[in-house]
Structure 1
Amino acid sequence: MDFDYSPKTKELQQKLLAFMDEHIYPNEKAYKEELEANTAAGKRWSPLQTIEKLKPIARKKGLWNLFLPVDTADASGYTGAGLTNQEYAPLAEIMGRVVWAPEVFNCSAPDTGNMETLARYGSDDVKERWLKPLLEGEIRSAFAMTEPAVASSDATNIETRIERDGDEYVINGRKWWISGAGDPRCKVYITMGKTDPEAPRHSQQSMIVVPADTPGITVVRPLSVFGYDDAPHGHMEILFDNVRVPAGNILLGEGRGFEIAQGRLGPGRIHHCMRLIGQAERALEFMCRRALTRTPFGKTIAQQTVTQERIAEARCRIDMARLLTLKAAWMMDTVGNKIAKTEIAMIKVVAPSMACQVLDWAMQVHGAGGLSEDFPLAYHYANARTLRFADGPDEVHRNAIAKWELGRYADTPGSKDYDPPVTRGF
């Protein structure tokens, strides 16, 4: 693997870094103040103009739809920046330094995964109606998979029913943690459910495109993470009660839902992990600046040995996570998501845990201020901790990694009667 970034990535990195310095960091205070003002006015779930006014600037500078993979162009007829996963990954890291920044570039979840899904698997009609306005940034979307009644870390457990009735499908079920569904611009849900309970386990599920204004859909409530409701984006609980949509809205056909989910979640995990690395990188910067400028007990925090050890460990962990994530992205580009599944699972374990630890150390250096909203550290920690569940909890990924690792030796010569060689001299 070549660890150097491509010329195209380097050029976009410089553009993004300049944009962040000129437009994103200076607007962090404005973002917070506008959200507080909207809350006071009873408009907490309204789109924020702090973000909206920056989108045309980003688009004019060519920093728009950077995520859309190069290999979707022929399939969809729509193109983004034409980047591979490996080329996009370091850009996601830069955008991830501020949680709301990816939306400015039309590169935020769950829209990115939904757009890739529609580009790869949607019919021409579906692409025209939903993919095009998403790529234009005219609407937003949600991905409805997780359910409160089952362990949704295994998609085959999903119980929401999608039943054929003539020229329509009827959907019944309850979903939760549906990110993006709180935004009033959310106009479409990509929904996963069971079409044939009697089919083989991985062929029971299907995915279908559901317009958000279809009768029978009820947004029950917003859910919070450590007290944050992430308005106006939100994580919602949603009820589907005899929701009818055209049969043509099914993606790929019945029984292909698990296959689509696997194709969707691979790139999404790369994006999540690189954004987390960006958050950890910024936390380390805050940590160092705070440590150099605070002087309790006669010397700076930076002179404390424990602080130096944590800074060094943070530097090592961030770089290790970045290299592993770039390797996973490179493998996805060169050998495909299926063969890269171990590496994808590993980054999903490593990156969120790394970010949580680095953010924890940074908060500690900031004292009580690190727990407040005077700094972004506490909110970033809540985000990082959430991602130890999103796209599959740590335990599921670790179990999969262990099984794949054990499988390498299960059928090798001597595996059944392994006898460790005698070690001499100890």
Structure 2
Amino acid sequence: MHILDELKQRGLINQVTDEEGLRKHLEENQVSLYCGFDPTADSLHIGHLLPILMLKRFQMAGHRPIALVGGGTGMIGDPSGRNEERQLNDASIVQQWTEDIKGQLSKLIDFDDEKKGAVAVNNFDWLSKMSVIDLLRDYGKHFSVNYMLAKESVEARIRQGISYTEFTYMILQSLDFQRLYQLENCTLQIGGSDQWGNITAGLELIRRTTEEGEEAKAFGLTVPLVTKADGTKFGKTAGGAIWLDADKTSPYEFYQFWINADDRDVVKFLKSFTFLSLEEIAELEKEVQERPEQRKAQQRLAEEMTKLVHSEEALQQAVRISKALFEGDIKALNANEIEQGFKDVPSYELEENSIGLVDLLVVSKISSSKRQAREDITNGAIYINGERQQDTAYEITDEDKLDGLFTIIRRGKKKYFLIRHQ
């Protein structure tokens, strides 16, 4: 199947310039294509996953991806999809984030294949060497203000106000495409739907700077904005963004995000984010329709994504944590797994080697008073490391410390508390 046909069937094409020309170009050539990622934090998040995996899909089809990390453009700020000015970061911070993001991309795209191995580039390498006069004379002259104002990314910001700094972002990104076209024979840029204006501006710059008599052969393609059926923003939870860095979003949290996908979204997510065949996804879609309570599609989605972004080992750890919490077998978890599974629950640091359960419930604010603590215990509402405790004279000792570090208290069915022992 042609790569464009598969992308269409998976719902991964939003807009494309000259589709028939691109189709033929892909059939006749090993195409170099690029996508840019600005280092606006020390990690990418799952909102970046779709374009990253698009690079991977093209690579699997025999083409050569270029991952551009915007060490230069990241210091300016892209107005696309934003209603306010981005905070500018110091150069040293941006460069550190650039290296962090390069490392993340190398885990998802193959940089080692001799024939179609990905290339990582940093636009700071050429933008930092360019003078203001060079930028204005060699590139600014190709952009009319009217043309730039007509772009949706700029037009949407005019009402709120846009600085000249962000206004020039389109020129810099266009310059990236033109530079990669010249140096790497890169003929295709991909990006999110909000990048359409920047991509087409790059194509126009390539056309204008191609020598007379030569044909400028370059294309652009965007992927749709990922939306959720319930109207909430994709990639956001009550705890914030879902990051690709395991230190910012643990593999367990990452796994939980996908396994909690709505029935209305799960098939779309399987098509967009996984590399499962369309036939297998169709079978999982039947499961959603006929046996939704079993959540087989969500489970497969969570498994595929956690394994892809983290590792098989991280997946197994996430599954183990989920199983232990569901079955109440908390003692089966090690310290690292407890940290992941109980990252967002209330915690209390305990200095004493031993303490009465009633006193612990009060000082850690699990129960509001000693009277309430005794009632909670005698009523069977208190669990220590998954086991019910109804003795009001019970003492917390070393035997209750998991890995010598933690004690997990549960009050009622779902309220967990983490006691950290010093």
Please give the range of the TM-score, normalised by the shorter of the 2 chains.
under 0.3
TM-score, length basis structure 1: 0.26
